[in-house]
């Protein structure tokens, strides 16, 4: 068992019904027999079935963290907060920047402002995104370190919101000594990412919410995999258990005010990722070459792992081929549930 030493702590996971959030909630409950967990989520991009609702150490609060009625239920008896709420994802935020603001930037501000004087709080871990600071290059990627400055030019309101969350993390730490730690994620994949989870957010990306679950679903169904821009872009893919371990390392070992990359430290092109998925799933699908997405200039990237290895003792453990095998099996086992969730949005697709 992976020991996490939260003991009798009370932990809040904001965005706790989401993909990463629900995996984190389960890891916290499973590895810490005395820990109480509160998951807060408005189910904007999640289904509550993701949570182990029958566990009596879990409390689920359904609502937005930006609403006062929800904040009123958070008191200074909380030891750790993980802030994972976001308006998922880039395309939804481009379609509706105000909804992104309300569920992304504003959630961070409301939460940090509410807890700024909490004396018991040991750490507030903010989930940031490597895309907000990575160099935009289609040449060979170099490891993005924590030192990188953010460009003023961002591809989406989502990316802007993520970096503003970092600004607030640093501001509330400096001004109010709020013990914030920023965890900069790379691309997460793993069981529990349900295509179409949550409410319609204006574009088909509500269903096709990320490259890995999209490719896996299509590979299982024998549908061709859409490969934008020849699949030349690359990403640092990290298995969800590793991300959760990284978040926990940030909470337990991270220094307040600091930032840590939670990455695998390797990049793989989207074309190679697609081919590995097709091969691992034993699929007949082919790749279908599509033009570059007009808004997407993010190119090739991966995160440097030096600082997180040295300072918080975090290193990703799951090999990507093993990780993909697990997600493919999980997707096959949960196909009925996933398709039911995807189907909810059919009526919007025809508009
Ligand atoms: N998954 C990745 O590859 C990745 C990469 C970089 C950063 N991140 C960050 O990690 C976090 C988790 O991402 P995820 O992939 O699990 O996404 P997700 O969409 O599955 O989870 C986000 C959760 O936030 C909830 N939410 C939205 N608005 C809310 C509000 N106002 N109040 C309370 N809850 C609200 C959603 O319903 C959802 O459950 C996000 O902050 C995201 O920006 C993820």
- For residue 271, report the distance from its CA to the centre of ligand 1, in Å: 26
pLDDT of residue 143: 85
- Distance between Cα 302 and ligand 1 center (Å): 20
In a domain, 48, yes or no: yes
With respect to residue 315, please indicate whether it lies within any of the assigned structural domains: yes
Residue pair 201/265 in contact by the 8 Å Cβ criterion: no
- pLDDT at position 22 is 98
Is the beta carbon of 106 within 6 A of some atom in ligand 1?
no
Q: Is 127 in the pocket of ligand 1 (CB under 6 A)?
A: yes
Task: Give the per-residue pLDDT at 149.
Answer: 83
Distance (Å) from CA 109 to ligand 1 centroid: 15
Specify the long-range contacts of residues 48-54, CB closer than 8 Å, at least 24 apart: 48/17, 49/337, 50/17, 50/18, 50/19, 50/22, 50/192, 50/194, 50/197, 51/16, 51/17, 51/22, 51/25, 52/25, 52/26
18 lines ligand 1 (CB under 6 A): yes
At residue 66, the pLDDT reads 98
Domain count, the chain: 1
Nearest to 24 by CA among 13, 33, 35: 13
Q: How far is CA 49 from each of CA 2, 86, 123, 325, 336, rounded to the nearest angstrom?
A: 24, 19, 28, 23, 13
Residue nearest to atom 21 of ligand 1 (CA): 18
Which residue CA neighbors atom 38 of ligand 1 most closely? 18
Ligand 1 mean position, distance from CA 18 (Å): 6
Is 142 inside any structural domain?
Answer: yes
Q: Does residue 281 sit within a domain?
A: no
Residue 44 in any domain: the answer is yes
Residue 14 lies in a domain: yes
Ligand 1, atom 11: nearest CA belongs to which residue?
84
CA of 87 to the centre of ligand 1 (A): 6
Least Cα distance to 267 among 142, 149, 150 occurs for: 142
Q: pLDDT (tens digit, 0 to 9) for every residue of the chain, 351 residues total?
A: 566 789 899 999 999 999 999 999 999 999 999 999 999 999 999 999 999 999 999 999 999 999 999 999 999 999 999 999 999 999 999 999 999 999 999 999 999 999 999 999 999 999 999 888 877 777 777 889 988 888 899 999 999 999 999 999 999 999 999 999 999 999 999 999 999 999 999 999 999 999 999 999 999 999 999 898 888 889 999 999 999 999 999 999 999 999 999 999 999 999 999 999 999 999 999 988 887 777 777 788 889 999 999 999 999 999 999 999 999 999 999 999 999 999 999 988 764
Residue 3: its pLDDT value, please?
Answer: 65
Let me know if residue 227 belongs to a domain. no
183 CA to centre of ligand 1 in angstroms: 13
CATH number where 142 lies:
3.40.50.720
300 forms beta bridges with 234
Tell me what pLDDT residue 42 has.
98
Residue 30: inside a domain, yes or no? yes
Cβ of 88 closer than 6 Å to ligand 1, yes or no, is yes
CA 327 / ligand 1 centre spacing (Å): 19
Looking at the DSSP bridge assignments, the partners of residue 129 are 185
Q: Please report the pLDDT score of residue 134 as a whole number.
A: 75
- Ligand 1, atom 26: closest residue by C-alpha: 85
Instruction: Give this prediction's pTM.
Output: 0.96
The dihedral built from the CA positions of residue 123, 129, 130 and 134, taken in this order, carries a sign that is negative
Given ligand 1 and candidates 12, 13, 14, 19, which is best to mutate, with the most ligand atoms within 8 Å of its CB?
A: 19
Question: Which amino acid residue places its CA nearest to atom 6 of ligand 1?
Answer: 129
Q: Tell me the CA–centroid distance for residue 57 and ligand 1, in Å.
A: 22
Report the nearest atom of ligand 1 relative to the CA of 158. Answer: 43
> Residue 169 is part of which domain span?
10-192+237-266+297-319
């Amino acid at each position: 068992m992976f020991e996490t030493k939260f003991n009798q702590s009370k932990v809040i996971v904001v965005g706790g019904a989401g993909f990463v959030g629900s995996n984190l909630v389960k890891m916290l409950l499973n590895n810490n027999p005395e820990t109480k967990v509160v998951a807060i989520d408005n189910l904007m991009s999640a289904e509550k079935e993701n949570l182990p609702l029958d566990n009596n150490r879990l409390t689920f609060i359904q609502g937005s963290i930006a609403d006062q009625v929800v904040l009123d239920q958070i008191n200074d008896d909380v030891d750790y907060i993980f802030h994972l709420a976001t308006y998922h994802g880039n395309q939804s935020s481009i379609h509706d920047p105000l909804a992104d603001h309300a569920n992304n930037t504003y959630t961070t501000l409301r939460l940090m402002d509410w807890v700024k004087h909490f004396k018991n709080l040991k750490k507030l871990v903010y989930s940031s995104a490597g895309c907000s600071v990575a160099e935009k290059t289609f040449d060979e990627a170099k490891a993005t370190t924590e030192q990188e400055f953010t460009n003023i030019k961002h591809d989406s309101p989502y990316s802007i919101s993520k970096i503003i969350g970092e600004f607030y993390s640093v501001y509330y730490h400096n001004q109010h000594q709020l013990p914030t730690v920023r965890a900069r994620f790379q691309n997460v994949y793993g069981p529990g990412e349900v295509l179409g989870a949550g409410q319609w957010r204006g574009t088909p990306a509500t269903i096709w919410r990320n490259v890995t679950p999209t490719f896996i679903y299509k590979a299982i169904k024998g549908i061709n995999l859409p490969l934008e821009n020849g699949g030349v872009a690359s990403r640092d893919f990290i298995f969800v258990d590793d991300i959760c371990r990284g978040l926990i390392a940030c909470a337990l070992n991270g220094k307040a005010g600091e930032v840590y990359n939670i990455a695998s430290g390797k990049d793989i092109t989207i074309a190679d990722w697609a081919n590995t998925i097709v091969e691992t799933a034993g699929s007949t699908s082919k790749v279908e070459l599509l033009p570059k997405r007009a808004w997407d200039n993010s190119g090739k990237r991966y995160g440097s792992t030096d600082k997180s290895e040295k300072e918080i003792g975090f290193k990703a453990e799951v090999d990507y081929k093993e990780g993909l095998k697990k997600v493919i099996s999980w997707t096959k086992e949960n196909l009925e549930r996933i398709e039911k969730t995807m189907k909810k949005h059919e009526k919007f697709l025809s508009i």
